[in-house]
Structure 1
């Protein structure tokens, strides 16, 4: 059969990007070739990237657990030219869990110089249903060193609220280095959350570039 159309219609909470084409000149070409035929007993996978819309992404509890992501619309033709169509019911998937606190990076440089401080901005989101009083601790690793005061108070963060946290660090080793060693402690419950391998940054030696 000839696969005329396979698309994902997202729910109101998501934007979708189709990942079933490759760049070829000005227009994208299907990863399955110019003629999208599906032979008997063949299996094919279609990929889509779903991202929460900004108004929902800021509400940590809205997309928690099982959520409706959208429905598939499939149109095909048989070898005799007969047309068929299948539209699924709303598909449900489990949204990624982040625990009580989600830590993500808002900004980070791709490349930094060896032993020179650089800045990142972390976003801390309270995904729980209670207010937290947070304390930040920074632990150095073999190659990455934090600049600043460890053990400082970040204050209270309400349910589904977030705060942006600018931080400074430097690397003493060249190459692709992992940013690790952040610890957040909720003083209300005396519970500590550890964040390692947050991101990677390429560390280069500026003197080698000049030569």
Structure 2
């Protein structure tokens, strides 16, 4: 790494080399046929040198464009190469450097204090400091080496400041600072979508690779905020009998290609019923954070955690009503009971209320599930954070999968609609079908 300031007039000088995994050496040789090395195409023995020549086919150069071995196309020589440049540093990776402070003069220096500090726009981090135990001396043409490590947690410009305080042969105390600058960038971009379905929230995360190399996802985990619980939804790929050990392993890798490759993840979030102590959390919309762990092609690790992901603002409802129990088998034109639970989530008394059900939907179409008997059911006043259960008598007039919808709570005093019961799909059996199945 190049320094922003030289060490002119000083006995010591810093050299910094970034420590990272070596890369594979790739050679692009000129592939020729072995017979061309010793003999030309006009040789009289040319046909004997080509064992694949049969029936007097033309032994031209067209055949020799094919590779002798499939692995030759990769150009890998089997050797590893140390990094020739500083390279790119990404957020979430570990910055590791080899620092060498050398004495390039013909005399020794004494009482050497060495300090390495990383400066960003927000903070300064001490990476190494031996001020409590200085080095007694660094001999002429000698050096002192050490390694520093730091997890990159900020984007933008970084400055590695290497400082040395020492005593020269004249007994003067000298101070040497050297600055090494580099910039960090974001390896991935994360886009999220949040959508609600009844009492379940789904979070879709799209992770896009912004680096030039491939990224192997070790783990993509969502850490829910209280009181949410999370389930990761993934496709389970079954191994085929024709898959060998290598192809089966490749299919199991969660790879994101470089230069804009992307991968999608889906999470299912659920919130448990609120207790009395959690009633104030209803208006909160914080879902949680996404944690991403990956490896590069040579195994270097990286870790990122997103900021808090927020969902749709949840309005605080004074009442909550839901169906808690439905019969396992329901026949058409036969009354059945549905148990409902009404909860007062406010901090004051509410009620009295009535449970009513509309006979038609918003388009004026008659409903296939109706209330049986009384068209309304009274709900007594509820204390703050209290709940009550009641049974509603319903009847279905059509077979098949039908929606139980249109049930709502209204104020018994002015008829104002307070809360709707979430619709539920139920399978209703016909009487004729039941009779045939019994025979």
Sort the TM-score into its range (normalised by shorter chain). 0.7 to 0.9
Which residue, out of 64, 84, 89, partners 2:282? 64
Residues 164 and 45 of structure 1: CA distance in aligned 2, closer, same or farther (over 3 Å)? farther
Partner residue in 2 for 1:4? 218
Partner residue in 2 for 1:29? none
User: Cα deviation per residue 1:84-118 (whole Å; 9 max; x = unaligned)?
Assistant: 00123443333544743332221224542111122
Asked if residue 207 in structure 1 is aligned to residue 435 in structure 2, the reply is: no
Which residue, out of 335, 354, 357, partners 1:135? 354
Asked if residue 22 in structure 1 is aligned to residue 236 in structure 2, the reply is: yes
For structure 1, list consecutive stretches of 5 or more residues without a partner in the other structure: 26-32
The alignment of Structure 1 onto Structure 2 pairs a total of residues equal to: 202
User: Cα deviation per residue 1:124-165 (whole Å; 9 max; x = unaligned)?
Assistant: 233444321112223445322212423342111234332222
SS in 1 for 2:418: strand
SS in 1 for 2:280: coil
Q: CA deviation at 1:194?
A: 6.0
Partner residue in 1 for 2:296? 78
Asked if residue 173 in structure 1 is aligned to residue 398 in structure 2, the reply is: yes
Contact 1:132 1:186 in 2 (8 A): no
For structure 2, list consecutive stretches of 5 or more residues without a partner in the other structure: 1-214, 240-250, 361-365
Residues 67 and 181 of structure 1: CA distance in aligned 2, closer, same or farther (over 3 Å)? closer
Partner residue in 2 for 1:106? 324
Partner residue in 2 for 1:30? none
Distance (Å, rounded) in 1 between the aligned partners of 2:384 and 2:312? 21
Residues 77 and 189 of structure 1: CA distance in aligned 2, closer, same or farther (over 3 Å)? farther
Distance (Å, rounded) in 1 between the aligned partners of 2:336 and 2:402? 13
Q: Normalising by the residue count of structure 1, what TM-score does the alignment of the two structures yield?
A: 0.79
Asked if residue 43 in structure 1 is aligned to residue 257 in structure 2, the reply is: no
CA RMSD, 1 decimal: 2.8
Asked if residue 160 in structure 1 is aligned to residue 374 in structure 2, the reply is: no
SS in 2 for 1:200: strand
Contact 1:131 1:157 in 2 (8 A): yes
Distance (Å, rounded) in 1 between the aligned partners of 2:282 and 2:342? 16
Distance (Å, rounded) in 2 between the aligned partners of 1:173 and 1:126? 34
Partner residue in 2 for 1:191? 416
In terms of fraction of residues, the more helix-rich structure is 2
- RCO higher in 1 or 2 (8 Å CA, sep ≥ 6)? 1
Distance (Å, rounded) in 2 between the aligned partners of 1:4 and 1:61? 38
Contact 1:120 1:166 in 2 (8 A): yes
Distance (Å, rounded) in 1 between the aligned partners of 2:316 and 2:329? 28
In terms of fraction of residues, the more strand-rich structure is 1
Q: Normalising by the residue count of structure 2, what TM-score does the alignment of the two structures yield?
A: 0.41
Q: Which has the larger radius of gyration?
A: 2
Contact 1:119 1:168 in 2 (8 A): yes
Contact 1:106 1:121 in 2 (8 A): yes
